[in-house]
Amino acid sequence: MADAHPHPDDDAPPVRIPIDGVLDLHTFRPSEVKDLVPDYLAACRERGIASVRIIHGKGTGALRDTVHAVLRRTPGVLGFAVADAGGGGWGATIVDLVPREKQATPLRASTPRPLL
C-alpha cells in the first residue's frame, strides 16, 4: 500500500492506497493527478503488475485528458487506451506497463574498442 493525501489541506492522516492495479481518482483533486499517477504506476511495476486500470470518471473529460497527458510522458508506460464497456468505458483508462525486467538499464562506461 502507498500513502496518499486525497486532500492535502485537510488535517486528516494520509490514506493508504492498495497497490492492486486499480487506481480510483474520484477521491483526489485534479491537481494531485500529475504526481499521483506516475507514483502509483511505479509502485505497480515494482510489484510486477503489468496492467493498470485508472478510473477517472466520465464527466467533461478534462480529468481523462490530464491522465492521458501524464501517461504520455511517464517512463515505463508501454501504451494506454480507454477501457471497454465492461472496464468502465470512457470513464476509465487501461494502462500497459513495461515489465520491470525489460526496463532499460543505464549504459555503462566501457573501454573503447581499437579501430581496425
C-alpha torsion 51→56→61→62, nearest 10 = -110
pLDDT score, position 68: 97
pLDDT at site 13? 73
pLDDT score of 69: 97
Cα–Cα distance measured from residue 12 to residue 103, given in angstroms and rounded to the nearest whole number: 37
**What domains are there in the chain, each with its CATH number?**
16-99 (3.30.1370.110)
Bridge partners, 23 (sequence order): 54
Q: Would the pLDDT of 34 be above 70?
A: yes
Q: Tell how far CA 82 is from the center of its chain.
A: 14
Does residue 14 surpass a pLDDT of 90? no
pLDDT of residue 10: 60
Q: Give 16's pLDDT tier (boundaries 50, 70, 90).
A: confident
DSSP state of 84: -
Taking only the tens place, the pLDDT of each residue in 49-104 is 999 999 999 999 999 999 999 999 999 999 999 999 999 999 999 999 998 876 55
10-26 mean pLDDT:
85
| Cell numbers 509502485: residue | 43
- Predicted confidence at residue 100, as pLDDT, reads 80
Q: What is the DSSP letter of 42?
A: H
Residues 6+ apart with CB under 8 A from 43: 2, 19
